[in-house]
Amino acid sequence: MVCTGNICRSPMADVILRHLLADAGIDDVEVSSSGMGGWHVGEGADRRTVSTLARHGYDGASHIASQFDPRDFDRYDLVLAADRGHQRALHRAARTDADRAKVRLLREFDPAAVAAGTLEVDDPWYGVTADFERCLREVEAACRGLIETLQALDHADGTADRPAADRTDATKDES
């Protein structure tokens, strides 16, 4: 999850996606977040991010901001941008076509956002509580859509109905 400062949008997405993955029983997805800029590296999330998350039952208190590093492309299958500015910056940071193909807008995973053509998560940093609330709604819907996409991929793979431990055994048996 990537935004500008890694203190508002991408931490929300990071915390919410982790929470929803745990709720869905998906334990084999690694999630992290970072900012394209380094101004807030080492800081916690913006206090308005933490309080907005808390109002919705999410814990953002342990977030520590970091800056995107092109080597993150090696570690992750998807690099999700909050807005088109981040998407462009990530495209510039991509070292290969394979890196570039990993970059998507987070809200591409929200069918309603796709239908409405509103694919950016607006920056709430200069905003008020309502802007943080809207940010959370947008990010949460996208994270739910992302989980549905992962579940659909897992079903297509034919392994979704079995626990992860069984899938590991099955893979071993087949190899």
Contact 123, 8 (CB under 8 A): yes
- What is the spatial distance between Cα 31 and Cα 14, in angstroms, rounded to a whole number? 6
Name the residue nearer to ligand 4NP (CB basis): 29 or 127: 127
Shortest distance in whole angstroms from residue 174 CB to ligand 4NP: 44
Contact 18, 31 (CB under 8 A): yes
Name the residue nearer to ligand 4NP (CB basis): 86 or 150: 86
Name the residue nearer to ligand 4NP (CB basis): 128 or 156: 128
Shortest distance in whole angstroms from residue 173 CB to ligand 4NP: 46
Where along the sequence are the contacts to ligand 4NP (CB under 6 A)? 3-9, 35, 39, 123, 125
Shortest distance in whole angstroms from residue 31 CB to ligand 4NP: 16
Cα–Cα separations (whole angstroms), residue 130 to 28, 61, 100, 137, 148: 34, 20, 34, 11, 27
Q: Which residues are catalytic?
A: 3, 9, 123
Q: How many residues does the chain have?
A: 175
